[in-house]
Chain A
C-alpha cells in the first residue's frame, strides 16, 4: 500500500482520513474483517461469561466436545451458503436453495432404498453411488432451470427462485409422499459424509472436511480464475461487463448451474449430518444461508464480498446458537440476535459502499 508518488488521490485521502475513514477503507478492501471482529467478540464474551463469571453451562463452551459439535453443526448452512454467496455476488438471490437441497436428498435416498411409500418405487433400489450421482445431476438441473428462466426470460432471480421454491417443495411431496427415510434404512454409502475421525482433541466428520475443501476450491475459483472475475464484474455492473466483451447471460446461467452442483453436494452432506432424508429438514435454511452471506460482509447489491466472510458468517450463527443456549437463554434470543446482526451487516455494507477517492 505504500507509495512514493507525491500527491495521488489516495494519498490526499490518507492524509485527511480520520480513524473512522480508515476503518471504512479497510473494511472496503477486506470485507471479511467485520464478521471476523464479530466472531472474535462473541468468543471473548462467551469466554468471559463462561470461564470467569460461570454463567449457566457456558464453561463447557470451549471444551473440545462442544467445539467439535459446533463445527459439525456448520456443514448444512455452510455448504449451501457457498452457493448462495456466488449467486448474491451477481446481485441475484436464491430462495430455492433449501427446496432444491431437500428435493435432491429425497431423490438420492428414495433411489437408494426399497420403499413402498414413494411414487418412484419403480426406480428404487439403485446402487447408492448411482443414487448419489443422480441426486447431484438432479440438483444441477434444478439450478440450471433457475438460470434458464432468469437468463432466457429476463425474470428477476427473486421471483424465479420464489417460484421454484414452491415447485420443488411440492415435487418433493408429490413424488416422495413426505416420508422420512431413516439412516438405518439406507446403505452405508449414503451416510458416508457422517464418517467421524479424531484430529487432536477434536472430532471431525467427512462432511465438514468436504465443506472446507469446497470453500478452498471456490475461494480459488472466485479470485483466481477469469470466470470468478467475471462473476464479480457481472454483479458489479452488468452493462460494463457486457461492453467489456463478457457474455453476461452465459456467466449468470453458469452461476446458477454451479450453485446447483454445490446444493447437490450439500444434499448428500445433509443426509449424513441428520442421519435421515426428511422433507422437513432445516425449514429455515434459505434465510440462514442468506443471513450467513450477509453477516459475512457480502453485499446484496452484488460484486462485493468474499467467501471467507461467508464461512465466518456461518460460524457466527452457530456460535451464537450454542453460546446462548449454553447460557440458558431461550432460543428466541438467538433469533433476536441474528436479526440485529443482519440489519447491522447491511447498514455497514451501505456505509462501506460510500468509500470514494
Chain B
C-alpha cells in the first residue's frame, strides 16, 4: 500500500464557484483528494458534480476559488493543462475514436514518433513501440482479453472499451484519475470488472475520483464519499461511518452531518 503519512491532499479545491448565467453550478465548494484513495463523489442531479469535475479536469474554468495539485496552485485552461499535471479523466461519453485501433486510441493526442530522421523529418510514428507499450499497459491492468492490439475499438464490447479508456487514463504516469460514471452504460459483469480495475489502479498507488449514481458500487470501492448538494460539499463520510440510506438523506438535504462526524482526513 502506498498510503502516505502526509496529510497533504494530492488534489485540493478551495471555495470554487461557477455560475452559468443565473444558474449556480458551484457555490464556494471545497474538495480534497488524498494520495492513494478512491474518493466517490455523489449527489443529486444539478448538485454540481459535473461542474466540479470539469473544473478539476480543466474542461471548465471556475469563476473564483483556488485549486492545488500536490500543494501547488494551478489554473487549468484546457484538459491538456490538467493532463500535464498528471490528472487524467475518463468521460462518461467514452472519449475513444471507434475506427482507430486500441494502441492508436491509447496514444491518441500523444503519439510516439520514431527516433532519428524518420521521426524528426518524416514525422513517422513508432507503431511497433506504441503497440508493445499498449499491450504492456493493458496487461498490467489485467484487461488484455482483446484479440489483438490492432483491433479497431468499435469491435469491442462496452466493457472492453471502458477498459481501454481507463487504461489510457492510467498509462501515462498519471497521479490522479477521474472517472465519470464509468459503469453507467455497462452490464453487471462488465461493471464488476471495471470496479476491479479501479481497485487495481488504487493498488498501483493512483488516486481516484469516482463519480457515480450507483450506491452499492460506491460503497464497494470508495474509501471516502464526498456528498455534493446545491453546489457545495454537504459532507464527507465513509462507507463504514454511514449507511447507504443515510448518504441518500444527506444528498437530498434530509440529514446533515456535523463536521466532527465527517471524515475530512485520509483513511488510508
B124 CB contacts on chain A under 8 angstroms: 224-225
Decide yes or no: A357 and B156 within 8 Å by CB, A244-B109, A245-B109, A246-B109 being known contacts: yes
B108 → A minimal CB distance (Å)? 4
Whether A3 contacts B147 by the Cβ 8 Å rule is yes
CB-CB nearest in chain A for B91:
A243
Would you call B22 an interface residue if the criterion is a C-beta within 8 Å of the partner chain's C-beta atoms? no
A240 CB contacts on chain B under 8 angstroms: 93-97
Decide yes or no: A226 and B111 within 8 Å by CB, A237-B97, A241-B97, A304-B99 being known contacts: yes
What is the interface of chain B mostly: helix, strand, loop, or mixed? loop
CB-CB nearest in chain A for B95:
A243
The interface bits of chain B over 112-152 (1 if a CB of A lies within 8 angstroms of the residue's CB, else 0) are: 01000000001111010000000000000000011110011
CB-CB nearest in chain A for B78:
A245
Which stretch of A128-136, A176-184, A228-236, A253-261 is in the interface?
A: A228-236
Whether A8 contacts B97 by the Cβ 8 Å rule is no
Within 8 A of B (CB), among A10-30: 10-11, 13, 28-29
Whether A303 contacts B97 by the Cβ 8 Å rule is yes
A273 → B minimal CB distance (Å)? 30
Whether B125 contacts A357 by the Cβ 8 Å rule is no
The interface bits of chain A over 330-357 (1 if a CB of B lies within 8 angstroms of the residue's CB, else 0) are: 0000000000000000000000000111
A6 → B minimal CB distance (Å)? 10
Decide yes or no: A244 and B147 within 8 Å by CB, A9-B157, A236-B100 being known contacts: no
Q: With A and B bound together, what is the CA distance between A11 and B104 in angstroms?
A: 22
Decide yes or no: A1 and B93 within 8 Å by CB, A226-B123, A243-B79 being known contacts: no
A259 → B minimal CB distance (Å)? 19
Partner of B108, one of A224, A239, A244: A244
Would you call A5 an interface residue if the criterion is a C-beta within 8 Å of the partner chain's C-beta atoms? yes
B94 CB contacts on chain A under 8 angstroms: 240
Decide yes or no: A8 and B146 within 8 Å by CB, A226-B123, A229-B108, A245-B80 being known contacts: yes
Q: With A and B bound together, what is the CA distance between A240 and B79 in angstroms?
A: 12
How many chain A residues touch B (Cβ–Cβ < 8 Å)? 33
Within 8 A of B (CB), among A199-255: 220, 224-227, 229-230, 232-233, 236-237, 239-241, 243-246
B97 CB contacts on chain A under 8 angstroms: 232-233, 236-237, 240-241, 244, 303
Whether A225 contacts B156 by the Cβ 8 Å rule is no
Whether B145 contacts A8 by the Cβ 8 Å rule is yes
What band does the interface of chain B fall in when counting residues whose beta carbon is under 8 Å from A?
A: 35 or more
Q: With A and B bound together, what is the CA distance between A243 and B53 in angstroms?
A: 14
Would you call B160 an interface residue if the criterion is a C-beta within 8 Å of the partner chain's C-beta atoms? yes
CB-CB nearest in chain A for B80:
A245
B234 → A minimal CB distance (Å)? 29
Would you call B2 an interface residue if the criterion is a C-beta within 8 Å of the partner chain's C-beta atoms? no
CB-CB nearest in chain A for B57:
A243
Whether A233 contacts B160 by the Cβ 8 Å rule is no
Would you call B4 an interface residue if the criterion is a C-beta within 8 Å of the partner chain's C-beta atoms? no
A28 CB contacts on chain B under 8 angstroms: 152
B127 CB contacts on chain A under 8 angstroms: 224
CB-CB nearest in chain A for B108:
A244
CB-CB nearest in chain B for A240:
B95
Whether B156 contacts A229 by the Cβ 8 Å rule is no
Decide yes or no: A11 and B108 within 8 Å by CB, A239-B93, A244-B95 being known contacts: no
Decide yes or no: A11 and B147 within 8 Å by CB, A226-B113, A245-B109, A246-B109 being known contacts: yes
Would you call B155 an interface residue if the criterion is a C-beta within 8 Å of the partner chain's C-beta atoms? yes
A296 → B minimal CB distance (Å)? 16
Whether A357 contacts B98 by the Cβ 8 Å rule is no
The interface bits of chain B over 77-96 (1 if a CB of A lies within 8 angstroms of the residue's CB, else 0) are: 00110010000010101111
Whether A236 contacts B98 by the Cβ 8 Å rule is yes
Q: With A and B bound together, what is the CA distance between A234 and B113 in angstroms?
A: 20
Whether B155 contacts A356 by the Cβ 8 Å rule is yes
B156 CB contacts on chain A under 8 angstroms: 9, 357
Whether A5 contacts B111 by the Cβ 8 Å rule is no
Q: With A and B bound together, what is the CA distance between A233 and B154 in angstroms?
A: 13
Within 8 A of B (CB), among A126-170: none
Q: With A and B bound together, what is the CA distance between A243 and B59 in angstroms?
A: 9
A357 CB contacts on chain B under 8 angstroms: 155-157, 160
Q: With A and B bound together, what is the CA distance between A41 and B97 in angstroms?
A: 34
B233 → A minimal CB distance (Å)? 26
B154 CB contacts on chain A under 8 angstroms: 355-356
Whether A236 contacts B147 by the Cβ 8 Å rule is no
CB-CB nearest in chain A for B96:
A240
Whether A1 contacts B148 by the Cβ 8 Å rule is yes
Whether A233 contacts B100 by the Cβ 8 Å rule is yes
Whether A229 contacts B125 by the Cβ 8 Å rule is yes
A230 CB contacts on chain B under 8 angstroms: 108-109
Q: With A and B bound together, what is the CA distance between A29 and B156 in angstroms?
A: 14
Partner of B155, one of A10, A236, A303: A10
A355 CB contacts on chain B under 8 angstroms: 154-155
A140 → B minimal CB distance (Å)? 19
CB-CB nearest in chain B for A226:
B111
Decide yes or no: A239 and B157 within 8 Å by CB, A245-B80, A245-B110 being known contacts: no
A245 CB contacts on chain B under 8 angstroms: 79-80, 83, 108-110
A11 CB contacts on chain B under 8 angstroms: 147
B138 → A minimal CB distance (Å)? 13
Q: List 20 A-B contacts (CB under 8 A).
A: A5-B145, A8-B147, A9-B157, A10-B155, A11-B147, A229-B111, A230-B109, A232-B100, A233-B100, A233-B108, A236-B98, A236-B99, A240-B94, A240-B96, A243-B93, A244-B95, A244-B96, A244-B97, A245-B110, A357-B156
- What 5 new A-B contacts, CB under 8 Å, besides A233-B97, A237-B97, A244-B96? A28-B152, A224-B125, A233-B100, A241-B109, A246-B108
